[in-house]
Chain A
Amino acid sequence: MTLVLKATGVTKSFGGLKAVQNVSIEAHAGQVLSIIGPNGAGKTTFFNCLSGIYPLDSGTVELAGKRINGLAPHQVSRAGLSRSFQNIRLFPEMTVLQNVLVGRFSRSPRQILASVLRTRSWRREEDKALARSKELLEFAGLSARAQAWARALPYGLQRRLEVARALATDPKILLLDEPGAGMNPQEIGEMMGLVKSIANLGIAVVVIEHHMKLVMEISDRIVVLDHGEHLAEGTPEEVRRNPRVVEAYLGRSEDQHG
C-alpha cells in the first residue's frame, strides 16, 4: 500500500465557528476511504481545505510526500489531486466531451502559437487529448452522450460527468463529495460501482457519502466527523461497532434518511 495523501491536524474556522478541527487522514493508492458524518459536520469544508480552495488555519497536507497546503487550487490539481463538488459544477454551455477535454488542460503542453498555426505537433497533442477524453467517457458510461450539452444531461449523468472530468486531470487522488446525492438507489449502486473501479485503477479515492449500506460495502476504511472533529476511524466493521459513532451519527442518520 502506497501512501498518497497525508493530512495532519487540518483546522479551519469561519469567524467563531470551528468547521474543521484538528482532522488527520491518510489515503492509500487503490483504496476507498469514506468520510461520513451528519450534515454540517465539516466534510465539505475539509475537502475545500485539501483542495486549496480555503487556506488552512493550521495543519499540513502532503501529497505523495510533497506539501500541497498553501498551493492554489490549480497547483493542487497539477500535483495530482482532483475532486467533484457537492453542488454539481459542470461547464453547462460546453458539450460533455468538451467538459472532459478541459480536464486535460494541465496534462497537455502549452502551445499557443502552434494552436494558431495548427502545426502537426499541435494536431497530435489535440488528438491525444481527444482520445484520452473519449476513453474516460467510455469508462464513465457517457460515450453515447459525448456531443450533448452538459446542461442537457439528466442529473445522474451530470454527476458521472463530474467524475469523468475529474479523472481527466490524471489524479493520484480523487475526492468525491456526495457523488450519490439526489440519485435513486439503482443509480447510487452504479455510481458506487464506478467508485470501486476507479480505486481499482490504483487511484486513492476519498468519498463523502450518506448512504450507509453502500458506504459499508465499498469502503476500505471510514473516517467519522462530527462537529468538525475526528470522531472515529477504522474498517467498516469497526466503525459499525463503535458505540460513539452509533450514538453520534448512525441513529440520527437512520431517522433522517428513513
Chain B
Amino acid sequence: MRALLFALMLEILVNGLARGAIYALIALGYTMVYGILGMINFAHGEIFMLGMFGAVYALGALGSAGLMAVGITLPLAIVAAMVFSAGFGILNERIAYRKLRGAHLLAPLTSAIGMSIVLQNFVMLSVTKGKVDFPRAIAAPLADTTWTFGSWDLSSIQATILSVLPDVWARWMASKWVVQSVHLSALQLLIFAITLGLMGLLFWLIQRTRLGIALRAVAQDRTMASLCGMKVDGLITLTFALGSALAASAGVMVSMYQGVLRFDAGYMMGLKAFTAAVLGGIGNIPGAVIGGLLIGLAEDLTSFTIASEWKQSTAFAILILVLWLRPRGLLGERVADKV
C-alpha cells in the first residue's frame, strides 16, 4: 500500500508540476503587466494561443524550406513563436492600452477584453474553427520517449479495495487510484528545462541588470521613474514583450503535449494562469511561479481524487478561496496604491 501511495504521489507530482510550470510561465506575463500598469491584461491568454500558432507556422515555413531535423527546427520554432507573440503583445499594448493609461480602471480592462475577443475570432476566422495538429514528427520523438519507474503488481491491492469497500466506491477508486508505475517523458523533462531556464533568465534580468532595476522602478512609481529620466514607454513595451515571449514558449509546449491547438486554447489557460498570479500575489514575480505550480498540482489532485470533469472548476474554486481567505496572495501583492 505504501508503494502504491508513493507511486500515486509521484505521478501527480510529475504531471502536476509539468502543468503548473506552464501556468507559471503564463502567469508571469499577467503579474508583470499588473505590477507595472495595474491592469489585468485580459488578452494575455490569446498571446499564449498565438504563440502556439506561431510555432506551427514557423515549422511549416521550415518544412517548406526542407528543414526537418527536430534538433534544429524545434528550437527555431520556439524562438520564432516567442518573437511572434512578443510582436503581438507589443502591438496590443500600443494599439489598445497606451491611450488609456491613467484612465478609469474600466477603460483598459474593457479594451483588453475586446482585444482578446478580436484576436481569438481572428484566428478562428482566418485559420479554422476546428483543431490544428501539431506536427507529429516534431512532437512524437519527445512525447514517446518515456521512462518508466517502478513496476508494482497491484492486483492484490486492487482486490483488497474491491472487497473492503462498497461496490460503487470501490470500482471508482480502483479505477483511479491504482497506479502501477510512474511515467516521465522527455517532453516533460523539456518543459521543466525550458521553464527553469527561462525563469532563471527572467530573474537574472530583473534582479541583476540595470534594465531590471529600471523595470522595478517603473512598477513602483511611474511618474517618479519618468522624472528620473527613464524611458517609461519603452520599459512598458519591454514588459509586454517579455511576458508575451514567456507565454509563447508555454504555448509551444502545451501544443506539443496535447498534439493539437485551437483558436480558443488561450481562454481557459488565461483564466487559470491569472488565478495562479492571484494565488501567488498579483504583481509578485516569485509568487506567480509558486502559484502556477500549486494550481497545476491542485488540478491533478482533483482529477485523481474527485473526477476529471471537475478539473476546470478547480482553478475557479481556488480563486474564490484565495480571494476570500488571503486576498493578497501567498507572497503578498506588489501594487503601488497611494492616498
Contacts and interface: CB of A to CB of B under 8 A. Distances in A.
* Direct A–B contact in complex, judged by CB atoms less than 8 Å apart: yes
Interface of A: 44, 48, 53-54, 85
Contacts of B339: 44, 48, 53-54, 85
B221 to A, nearest CB: 13
Nearest to A85: B339
A48 B339 CA distance: 8
Nearest to B104: A93
5 contacts: A44-B339, A48-B339, A53-B339, A54-B339, A85-B339
A54 B338 CA distance: 11
Contacts, number: 5
Interface in B316-339: 339
A100 B278 CA distance: 38
Secondary structure of the B contact surface, majority rule: loop
A44 B339 CA distance: 9
A177 to B, nearest CB: 10
A53 B339 CA distance: 8
Nearest to B338: A87
B70 to A, nearest CB: 50
B182 to A, nearest CB: 46
Nearest to A54: B339
Nearest to A93: B104
A85 B339 CA distance: 9
B256 to A, nearest CB: 44
Contacts of A85: 339
A196 B81 CA distance: 67
B101 to A, nearest CB: 18
A149 to B, nearest CB: 16
A84 to B, nearest CB: 12
B234 to A, nearest CB: 28
A176 to B, nearest CB: 15
Contacts of A54: 339
A148 to B, nearest CB: 21
B328 to A, nearest CB: 14
B102 to A, nearest CB: 14
Interface in B289-339: 339
A162 to B, nearest CB: 14
Contacts of A48: 339
A54 B339 CA distance: 9
